[in-house]
Every structure is written in structure tokens, then in C-alpha cells.
Structure 1
Amino acid sequence: MPITIADVASRAGVSKTTVSRVLNGKGEVDESTADRVRAVISDLGYVPSARAVGLARGRTRVVGMLVPALTWPWMGEVLQGAVDVVEDEGYGLLLFTCNRGDESMRRFASQVSAKSFDGLLVVEPEGTLDYIEALHQQGLPVILIDDRAHRPRFPSVQTTNQAGARDAAAHLLGLGRRRPVVITGVPHFGCTEERSAGFAQTYAAAGLPIDPDRVVEGDFTFECGRAAVQRLLAAGVPFDSVFAHNDLSAAGALQALREAGLRVPDDVAVVGFDDLPLAGHTHPPLTSVRQPMREMGAAAARTLISHFDGTPLPDAPIVIPTSLTVRASTGTT
């Protein structure tokens, strides 16, 4: 049978409250009594529940993290950034996904009610922003990672989607590419709107507004990029470059161009967005706008843990900028 706090109290001849005070360093306990309790703990091999000790101290030393799913291409980078900081600071991480929709959220809500973690990192599952904001207003410290242009009324870490798309457009313009195809992301995502706007504004400013026939709605998948290029080629739409809103759809575009016998970048230059490890292994390697996802996860975790130690949460979003990684898909290695 496992040793309990009651066993320790009985052997030491004290109350369970006294044992708890010794474990948690709270309250006045005579030093000789405390020594006796610690000796009994050692003799019995009693291991207190870390969760119970944390709750007694008013802290669990656990960070919660809520994400839509682990299948998102860059989710591993966000998680690794957060975990690096959380573990360095001696905290645990309790991860929740929304793979099962409402059922997942009910389980998450039960852990919130149980005060299972001290604060929350969030990559917003679709349709949960109002609920997360309510949790913050009720006193749970929350940091949103990748705000998708929603600009919530609580702290967030974001990147420069619009500026990243402008960099992609300027790069293609600098190469003389005047007829780009744009393969967008999911239409209602803020990042899609920002990337579309930044790219279009840059071409328009150069006197080259993008023809609507060369803008294809996508969904961030490999197949959407491949199918978009196939449809444009079949329709005879002329283009000399592709800007895809993520690396997976850019890889699909590369595949379709190769299947059609077109050379990249000689015939068509291709730029993606995210700069996942995949980008360095496509054929040819993919020029991509780098989203600093690991840095964003780390910054969010660092901000949350600093708050636990007394630093106020920031009023303004933390912004970590994108950068352009140039590879052979645009003609430069």
C-alpha cells in the first residue's frame, strides 16, 4: 500500500496539518517537531504529491497549453520553444488539444476548474477566443501565440505576416517576375488576409496590380498547391512566379510544375511561407518567408513565467518579425 500523509502523521505523533506545514514550509512548527516529521518521511519513504504540494502553496508549477491539433505543420516548433523555457524554469507542461471538438473543450474546462495549472499558453482552436478571453478576465493568466490578426484583449505573441508577404513580393519583383500567382490560405484566417494584402499592395505600388485570375483560394495543404497550378496551366493563364501562403502548398506547386515539364526557377519562381524544415528539402530547395514559431513559443512561455514571478503582463502584443530565406526556387542558393 502507498504511504500516505496520515501514515507520516501517525508515526510522528502529530496532526496531518503539521505534516503539511513541514512539507510546504508554511506556518509555525517547532524545529524539533519538524526534524522528527522529516525523519519519519525519510524512514517511510513518503513521496508527497507534487500537485498537492503545489496547491498547498497556491501554485502548481505547471503551465497549461491549449492547441487545435498537433498535425499543424509548425506546431512542433511552437511546442519546442515553449517546452525549452518551461523545463529550464522547473515547470511542467500540461498539453490539451481539440482533436475531439466539444468533448476536448469540456475536458479542458474541467482542468481549468480544478486549477490544474498556473497559467495558459494558447494557439487558438477555432471559435474559442471568447471563452479564452473570459478565462483571462476571471483571473487566469493567458498568452495567445499567433493571434491570426484577431488582436485579443489579453497578451499575445505575433509575427509580421503582412511585412513578410511584402518581402516575398519585393524579392520576386527584384527578379523581374511581373505575373505572380498567389495561392492563399484558409480565407477567414487573419494571416491569410494579411499575407494577401501585403503581397498585393507591393505589386500594386509597382504598377502591377495582380489579376484576380491569378489568385487561387487554398487551404494550406500540399494538394491545394498542386491542384491550383494544374488548373491555371490547363486554363492557359500565363504566370512567371508563385507565392504560396505556406510551404506545404508551395511544395504542391513545385510538384505540379515539375509534372508539367516546367523548370524552377527558370520558367517559374516559387516562394512559400513558414520556412519549415521541409523548405530546405524540396526540389529545388524552397525560398520561404520564415515565421519565428519556436521563438514565439519561447517568448510566450517566458512572459507567462515572468508574470508568475511578479512581472506585469504586457499591454501591447509581443511582435517577433518574419525574415526571408532565399533558396534555389527563386534562382539564388
Structure 2
Amino acid sequence: MAITIADVAAQAKVSKTTVSRVLNGKGELDESTAARVRAVIEELGYVPSARAVNLARGRTRVVAMLVPSLTWPWMGEVVQGAVDVLEAEEYGLLLFTANRGADSMRQFNAQVAAKSFDGLLAIEPEGTLDYIATLHSRGLPMVLIDDRDQIAGQIPTIGTTNHTGAGEAARHLISIGRTRPLMITGPARFGCTQQRRDGFAAVYAEAGHPISDDRVLLGDFKHACGVETIQRAIAAGVEFDAVFCHNDISAAGAMQALLEAGRRIPEDVAVVGFDDIPMAAQTHPPLTTVHQPMREMGEAAARTLLAHFEGSPLPNRPTIIPATFTVRDSTR
């Protein structure tokens, strides 16, 4: 039978509260009493519940992570970055998704109410920002990952250089003589869509090749969107020598449609994506893309939260990790 705290208390002739204080280093205790309790613990081989000890200390040593879905192509990199940091500091991770909508959020809220974790890392599921902001205002330590310009200064965020990364894509295309690009965007409601559109368009405008509205085509980050948008552009007789897609998945769809239409990549049309997910190196031809530092963003978010647990204030301005540019055969 497992040794319990009651067994230790009985043999040491103290209360369970005294044993708990010895285990947790809390309260003033006579040193001889504390030494007797520690001797009994060693003699009996008592191993306290880690969860019980942490709860007694007011900490669970668990961090929660809330994400929209694990099916997003780059999500695993973010989660792995956070896990690497947390495990190194002997913290656990509770992972929640919003796959089931309101039911998922009710389950998550129950864990918030039960104080099952010390802090939250979040890639905000759509429509939950007000709820997350409320949790923050009530004192739950948290760090958001990805673009959230609308809450800058309110909740700590980790982001990347969407505007600059898109500008780098534009400069690369201009350097290889491509002056008539199409741009396939992400959903208009996302901050990164605005940043990537503006960054790309600004560089072309500065080079004397402004991008007209009919060359900026609204997308949804999906493969089918890339296919169908290119098919419509070709059918409409739009002339273009480059395509910039706001993510790699839609870029892969665009490449498929171009090849099916007999367009050579990159001889006829150069293609650039955004994200640099593992698939980008496996397309035909391999995709030139803006590399998002997703793993580094997960690491930075976890480090920021753990530093707060140790007494550092949470930052009141976004932490930005620069994107980089990866050239492959789709523009070479």
C-alpha cells in the first residue's frame, strides 16, 4: 500500500499540515520538528504527489495552449517550439483546440475555472478575442502568437515581419524582371493579409510598377483557391509574369493550375509563397517563399510566459521575430 502524508504525520507525531509545510517550505517551523519529519519521510520512502505539492505552492507547473486547429500546416512547428521550452523547465502542456466551436470553448473555460494551469499561450481561434482579452483582464497571464495588431499594448504578442517579408518577395521578383504580378491574398479579416498586401504593393509602387486592384485577388489560404484564381485569371486574358500568394498552400494550387495550362515555372510565370512549410521544398518545382519563424515564435512565447512566472513583467509591446526569404526553383 502506498505511503500517505497521514502515515508520515502519525509516525512523526505531527499534524498533516506540519508535514505539508515541511514539504513546501512554508511557514515557520521548529528546526528539530522539521528535521524529524524529513527523517520519517526518508525512512518511509514517502514520495509526495507533484501536483499536490505544486498546488500547495500556488502553482500547477502546467501551461495551457489554445489554438484554432492542429490541421493548420505550420501549427506543429509553433507547438513544438513551445513544448521544447516548457519541457526543459519541467512544465507540462495542456493543449486545447477550437475544432468543435462553442463546445470546445466551454471545455476550455471549465479548465480555466478549475485553475488547471498557470498561464496561457494562444493562437486566437476566430471570434474568441474578446473572451481571451477578458481572461487577461481578470489576471490570467498569457501571450498571443501571430498577428494581432489590434491589441498591441494590451496583451503580450509574438509576431513576425509580414510587411517586410512580403516586400522582400516583391524585391526578388523585380530583380528577376517580373513587373506584372498577380497577388492572391489571404482572408481580408486577418491582419497578416493587410500587412502582406501592403508590403508587396509598396515595393512595386516604389519601383514604378503599381499593382492595380484587378491584380489583387482575394483568397482564403486554401489549395483550391490558388487553382481556381489562376484559372479565372487565364480565362479572363489577364497577362501576368509572376504570382505572389499569401501562403504556401494556395501557392501550390496556383502552380498546379499554371502547369495544367501549359505555363512554365519560372520561365513564363515565377511563383512565390509565404510560410515556408515543409511542403514548400517538395512542390514541382520547389517553391520560393517567405520563411515564417514559427518554431522560434512558439519558443519566444513560452520563454516570455515562464519569465513572468519568475517575476518579470509581461512586455507591453509586441515581440517581433524577423521573417527570412528562401529562394528555390519556382523563381530561379
Aligned to 2:149: 149
Question: Residues 158 and 296 of structure 1 are in contact (CA less than 8 Å); yes or no, is this contact kept in structure 2?
Answer: yes
What's 2:219 paired with?
218
In 1, Cα distance between the equivalents of 2:94 and 2:272? Answer: 36
What is the TM-score normalised by the length of structure 1? 0.93
Superposed CA deviations along residues 134-180 of structure 1, whole A, max 9, x for unmatched, are: 22222221111113432341211111111111111111111111111
User: 1:128 maps to what in 2?
Assistant: 128
How far apart are 1:42 and its partner, in Å? Answer: 4.7
Map 1:1-333 → 2, pairs under 5 A:
3-42=3-42, 45-152=45-152, 153-331=154-332
Report if the CA contact (8 A) 2:141-2:305 is conserved: yes
Partners in 2 of 1:221 and 1:45 — Cα distance?
57
8 Å CA contact 1:149, 1:191 repeated in 2: no
Rounded to whole Å, the distance in 2 between the matches of 1:99 and 1:21 is: 43
Deviation at 1:110, TM superposition (A): 1.7
Determine if contact 2:148/2:157 at 8 Å carries over to the other structure: no
In structure 2, how many angstroms separate the alpha carbons of the residues matched to 1:289 and 1:249? 14
8 Å contact kept, 2:158–2:319: yes
Q: Which amino acid aligns with 2:262?
A: G
Distance 1:177 1:148 in 2: 32
Distance 2:278 2:204 in 1: 28
**What do you get for the CA RMSD once the two structures are aligned?**
1.8
Amino acid at match of 2:309: F
> Which moves more between the two structures, 270-279 or 131-140?
131-140
Looking at structure 1, the residues matched to 147 and 52 of structure 2 have their Cα atoms a distance apart, in angstroms, of 34
Q: 2:146 touches 2:158 (CA, 8 Å); kept in 1?
A: yes
Which amino acid is 1:75 matched to? Answer: M
Q: CA offsets, 1:53-112, max 9 Å, x none?
A: 112112222222111111111111111111111111221112111111112112211222
> Identity across aligned pairs (percent)?
69
Question: C-alpha displacement at 1:124, in angstroms?
Answer: 0.7
Deviations 1:113-144 (A, max 9, x none): 22222211111111211222222222221111
Letter in 1 for 2:144: L
The one-letter amino acid paired with 1:8 is: V
Report deviation, 1:186.
Answer: 1.3
Whether the aligned pair in 2 keeps the contact of 1:247 and 1:273 (CA below 8 Å) is yes
Q: Which runs of 5+ in 2 are unaligned?
A: none
Q: Which TM-score applies when normalising by structure 2?
A: 0.94
DSSP-derived class of the 1:250 partner:
helix
Q: Deviations over 1:182-234 (max 9, x none)?
A: 11111211111111111122222222222333222111111111121122122
Q: What letter matches 1:54 in structure 2?
A: N
In the alignment, structure 1 segments of 5+ residues that lack a partner are: none
Structure 2 contact 68–126 (Cα < 8 Å) conserved: yes
Question: Which has the higher mean CA deviation after the structures are superposed, 47-56 or 304-313?
Answer: 47-56
Give the conservation status (yes or no) of the 8 Å contact 1:77–1:293. Answer: yes
Contact 1:250–1:272 at 8 Å: present in 2 too?
yes
Larger mean Cα displacement after TM superposition, 10-19 or 41-50 = 41-50
Change (3 A) 1:244 1:58: same
Q: 1:3 to 1:230 in 2, by over 3 A?
A: farther
Q: Distance in 1 between matches of 2:227 and 2:45?
A: 61
Query: Which letter does structure 1 place at the counterpart of 2:292?
Result: Q
The amino acid across from 1:62 in the alignment is V
Distance 1:23 1:245 in 2: 54
Moved more, 171-180 or 2-11: 2-11
- Corresponding pairs, count: 331
Using the alignment, how far apart are the partners of 1:223 and 1:212 within structure 2? 22
SS in 1 for 2:330: helix
Counterpart of 1:330 in 2: which secondary structure?
coil
**Matched residue SS, 2:268:** coil
Give, in whole Å, the separation in 1 of the partners of 2:174 and 2:293: 24
Distance 2:182 2:148 in 1: 23
How many angstroms does 1:36 deviate by?
4.4
Alignment partner of 1:288: what SS?
strand
Give the whole-Å Cα distance in 2 for the aligned partners of 1:259 and 1:47.
66
